[in-house]
Each structure stands twice: as structure tokens, then as C-alpha cells.
């Protein structure tokens, strides 16, 4: 099996590659070749020496997509994107990377299939941003995809393309509408949702964090470990069960900022909570107010996707995976 990971330097991409390095048969067939591609030079785990190659690429650049599929990977994980806040602030860049790059990838697969039969499994990282207000109390699988941001629009269009190319037999696509991934390791990025991770990750390491919204803000979450599980399950599942609607809302946890802080207090104590500084940001508040808060991810559950049960589990997993199993 040849596996291609586009966006391999991103947080989920790195963790996905790490999981593949620890369990190379996790997809059901041994990996004989692994290609890691990203705009930032990917780093292949030492355990994959001999089968992993890296490429520093711009997916939106002419010829890049064709180069990526020329070796006919069996599974393509497409995680490459610029984040929501950046896509909203930089209109042209958002469409070039998040939409044009994705379209060029699908077209490259089609051109390769025209030369000789070829139909890879393509797992696409979509987003809950494909939905727009007004929302019901709990969004089910039949709710309209009508985004209110450029990022959500770019993801929604790619979902439609993924379904159409799958319908035509060009590829076998699965779109994963990811919850906000929390707790993200590393440093803050330009994602409007970044504070959800910041207010837990930084205090857990003894650093101050800024909370730009009210504690009553509710959102839909899953941890990084669950996110990796989503991609692995989508890569190895029997996709005939999905039907023509190829994009799925992933399971998650509906919680408020207050719920997050309460879980932080239970696990790390009042000293950690005191490191959260309230500083309202009207722009972030406006963006977040247009996001969905709760889902009934029944289709995904029935297809075998799973997420965490509560924020205590998310925090404990972060401590185990990122902090060596203990608080500093």
C-alpha cells in the first residue's frame, strides 16, 4: 500500500503519521511506501526510514497535484488548508489553497485514471464551518450546509466536488466534518477557534492564556487522538455503507467554555484556572457566534466513528500524549 498524506506538517497530520509509524498495519494492509507532503517541510519519523519520503509543496501551484498522484497512492489523506481566521482575512489566499488546490488534486486523480484504471481512497478534512446560522438546538445529519464564512464555503464546495468525483467512479471519497480539535499541542495559530485550546494547554504548562469570549459560549469538540482515529477509520472502512452523501459530521462533545474551565480545575486545580485572563475580542466573538454548538452525529456513530465522552478525558489524554503523563 502507498499512502499519501497532504498536510503532513500540520497538527493532525503529524499525529496521523506518528500513529502510522507505531502501527504500520493499522490500515489493514502493510504500508510499503509513505509520502509526506506539506508547504512546511515534513519530518518523517525514524521508524519509517526506508519507506517514507517527504515533499515540500504548494498544493495550489501548477503541476503540484499531478506530481503528488503520479505514483498512484492507494490512500490519500487530504488535510492541507489554511485556517479559518486566515481564510477570512486573506480572501484570495483562502480560495487558492482551500478550494483551487483541492480541485487540482481531484483533477489530477481524474487525469491519472484516464491514463490507466485508478481509483484511490481520498479522505478529506472538512469542517463544521460548512454549516451556518440560524441553528436548531441540535443539528442532525439532514441539516442544510449553508456556510457564513469564506473558509466554510471553500470546504462546502470541496465536499460537493468530492461527492461528484466519487459518483463518477474517479475516486472513493470520504469527507470528515471535524469538530474543533482540542487540546491542540504547540503554539497558538491564526484559527479563530484557537482560544478553546489555549485556555487549557497554556495553564496546564504553567503559562497564562487569554479568553476572548464569555464562558457561556458552547461548541463541538474532539481531541487530537480521536481526530486521528477518524481518519484511520475512514481510510479502512467499507465506504459502500456511506451512500451518495460522502461527507459526515464527526462525533464530538458539546461543551461550554465554563465546562472546559471546570474540567481544568478538577484535574489541575485553582492555580491553573487563575492563569486564564479574560480579555474580550469583538471579532472573535462575532465569528464564534455564527458557529454550531451541538450535533446528533448519528450517521457517523452508526458507521463506527468514536470520540471522547467528556473534557476530563480530553485533558487527561493531552497530559499523557504531550506532557509525559504528568503536570509540570
Give the residue numbers marked as catalytic. Answer: 151
Q: Where are the alpha helices (DSSP H) in 70-221?
A: 84-89, 91-94, 101-115, 150-167, 194-204
pLDDT digits (tens, 9 = 90+) for 259-287: 999 999 999 999 999 999 999 999 889 87
Domain contains 174: yes
Contacts of 114 (CB under 8 A, 6+ apart): none
Domain contains 58: yes
Domain contains 50: yes
CATH of the domain at 47: 3.40.50.720
**If we measure between CA atoms, which residue out of 169, 237, 26 comes closest to residue 34?**
26
Could you tell me how far CA 223 lies from the centroid of its own chain? 10
How far is the C-alpha of 77 from the C-alpha of 99, rounded, in Å?
16
Domain contains 291: no
Domain contains 52: yes
pLDDT digits (tens, 9 = 90+) for 18-55: 999 999 889 999 999 999 999 999 999 999 889 999 99
Half-sphere exposure of 10 (CA within 13 A, CB side): 22
Domain contains 39: yes
- The answer, as to whether pTM is greater than 0.75, is yes
The b-or-e profile of 209-228 (16+ CB within 10 A means b, else e) is bebbbeeebebbbbbbbbbb
What dihedral do alpha carbons 173, 175, 181, 186 form, nearest 10°?
40
Q: What sign does the CA torsion over 251, 253, 257, 262 have? A: negative
pLDDT digits (tens, 9 = 90+) for 70-111: 999 999 999 999 988 789 889 999 999 999 999 999 999 999
Domain contains 227: yes
Total domain count, the chain: 1
Domain contains 79: yes
pLDDT digits (tens, 9 = 90+) for 189-218: 667 788 999 999 999 999 999 999 999 999
Domain range for 228 is 2-178+222-249
Amino acid at each position: 500500500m502507498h499512502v499519501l498524506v497532504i498536510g503532513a506538517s500540520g497538527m493532525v497530520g503529524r499525529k496521523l503519521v506518528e500513529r502510522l509509524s507505531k502501527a504500520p498495519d493499522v490500515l489493514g494492509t502493510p504500508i510499503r511506501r509513505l509520502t509526506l507532503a506539506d508547504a512546511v517541510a515534513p519530518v518523517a519519523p525514524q521508524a519509517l526510514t526506508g519507506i517514507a519520503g517527504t515533499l515540500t509543496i504548494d498544493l495550489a501551484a501548477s503541476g503540484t497535484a499531478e506530481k503528488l498522484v503520479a505514483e498512484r497512492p492507494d490512500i490519500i489523506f487530504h488535510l492541507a488548508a489554511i485556517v479559518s481566521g486566515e481564510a477570512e482575512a486573506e480572501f484570495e489566499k483562502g480560495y487558492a489553497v482551500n478550494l483551487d488546490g483541492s480541485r487540482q488534486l481531484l483533477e489530477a486523480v481524474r487525469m491519472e485514471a484516464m491514463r490507466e484504471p485508478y481509483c484511490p481512497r481520498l479522505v478529506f478534512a472538512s469542517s463544521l464551518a460548512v454549516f451556518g446560522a440560524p441553528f436548531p438546538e441540535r443539528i442532525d445529519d439532514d441539516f442544510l450546509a449553508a456556510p457564513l464564512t469564506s473558509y466554510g464555503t471553500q470546504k462546502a464546495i470541496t465536499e460537493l466536488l468530492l461527492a461528484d468525483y466519487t459518483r463518477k467512479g474517479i475516486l472513493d471519497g470520504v469527507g470528515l466534518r471535524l469538530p474543533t480539535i482540542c487540546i491542540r499541542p504547540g503554539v497558538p495559530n491564526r484559527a479563530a477557534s484557537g482560544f478553546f485550546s489555549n485556555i487549557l494547554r497554556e495553564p496546564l504548562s504553567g503559562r497564562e492564556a487569554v479568553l476572548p469570549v464569555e464562558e457561556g459560549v458552547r461548541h463541538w469538540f474532539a481531541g487530537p487522538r480521536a481526530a486521528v482515529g477518524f481518519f484511520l477509520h475512514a481510510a479502512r472502512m467499507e465506504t459502500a455503507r456511506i451512500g451518495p452523501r460522502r461527507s459526515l459530521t464527526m462525533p464530538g462533545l458539546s461543551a461550554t467554555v465554563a465546562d472546559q474551565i471546570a474540567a481544568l480545575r478538577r484535574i489541575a486545580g485553582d492555580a491553573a484556572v487563575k492563569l486564564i485572563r479574560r480579555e474580550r475580542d469583538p471579532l472573535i466573538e462575532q465569528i464564534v457566534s455564527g458557529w454550531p454548538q451541538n450535533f446528533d452525529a448519528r450517521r457517523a456513530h452508526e458507521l463506527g466513528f468514536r470520540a471522547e465522552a467528556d473534557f476530563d478525558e480530553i485533558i487527561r489524554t493531552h497530559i499523557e500524549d504531550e506532557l509525559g503523563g504528568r503536570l509540570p
